[in-house]
Amino acid sequence: MIQRISSYVCGPVTNLVWAAGQERSMALIFSLADGTIHFYQALKGNRFEVTIILCGHPWAVESIDYDRYHHRLATTSGSEVKLWDLTANWDATLRKTANKDGQTCRAIRFIDNGASLVVTFMETLKVIIWTIEPWKRISKRIFSLNPNNPCRAGYSHITSDGNYILIDNLRNGADAYSLSSGRHLTTFHAPLTNHKPRHIATDVSNSIAIQGSDKRIVYVTNFGTAAPIETLAHGKTNKPVQAVALFSQGSHRWIASGGAHNQPSMVIWKEDYGWDYMHICSSRSVLVLELCTLDVFSDELFCYLSMLCDI
List C-alpha distances in Å: 65 to 14, 15, 75, 126, 183: 12, 9, 7, 19, 25
Confidence of residue 14 (pLDDT cuts 50, 70, 90): confident
On whether residue 224 sits in a domain, the answer given is yes
Please enumerate in sequence order all residues whose Cβ is within 8 A of that of 299, keeping only pairs 6 or more positions apart, or say none: 24
Beta strands in 13-62 (DSSP E): 13-20, 26-32, 36-43, 47-55
On whether residue 301 sits in a domain, the answer given is yes
On whether residue 216 sits in a domain, the answer given is yes
Taking alpha carbons only, the member of 139, 108, 143 closest to residue 125 is 143
Q: Which tens digit of pLDDT belongs to each residue from 45-103?
A: 556 677 888 999 998 888 899 998 999 999 999 999 999 999 988 899 999 999 876 77
Cβ(205)–Cβ(248) under 8 Å? yes
Domain total for the chain?
Answer: 1
Per-residue model confidence (pLDDT) at position 282: 39
The model carries a pTM of: 0.69
If you write DSSP's letter for every residue of 117-174 in order, what string do you get? EEEEETTS-EEEEEETTTTEEEEEEEPPP-TT-------EEE-TTSSEEEEE-SSSEE
Cβ(86)–Cβ(29) under 8 Å? no
Per-residue model confidence (pLDDT) at position 152: 67
Pick the more confident residue, 122 or 185: 185
Confidence of residue 262 (pLDDT cuts 50, 70, 90): low
On whether residue 25 sits in a domain, the answer given is no
Q: How far apart are CA 196 and CA 121, in angstroms?
A: 16
Cβ(143)–Cβ(183) under 8 Å? no
Please state, for a pLDDT cut of 70, what percent of the chain lies above it.
73
On whether residue 270 sits in a domain, the answer given is yes
Confidence of residue 311 (pLDDT cuts 50, 70, 90): very low
Confidence of residue 308 (pLDDT cuts 50, 70, 90): very low
On whether residue 198 sits in a domain, the answer given is yes
Per-residue model confidence (pLDDT) at position 15: 78
Q: How far apart are CA 305 and CA 236, in angstroms?
A: 25
Mean pLDDT of the region 217-231: 92
Pick the more confident residue, 32 or 273: 32
Q: Which tens digit of pLDDT belongs to each residue from 266-298?
A: 677 777 655 554 443 433 333 333 443 333 334
Cβ(203)–Cβ(248) under 8 Å? yes
pLDDT of 176 over the 80 cut: yes
CATH number at residue 274: 2.130.10.10
Domain span at residue 229 reads 162-284+297-311
On whether residue 167 sits in a domain, the answer given is yes
Q: How far apart are CA 89 and CA 97, in angstroms?
A: 22
Q: Which tens digit of pLDDT belongs to each residue from 94-150?
A: 999 998 767 788 889 998 889 999 998 876 778 889 999 999 998 887 776 555 655
- Bridge partner residues of 28 (DSSP): 18, 40
Mean pLDDT of the chain: 76
Cβ(14)–Cβ(26) under 8 Å? no
On whether residue 20 sits in a domain, the answer given is no
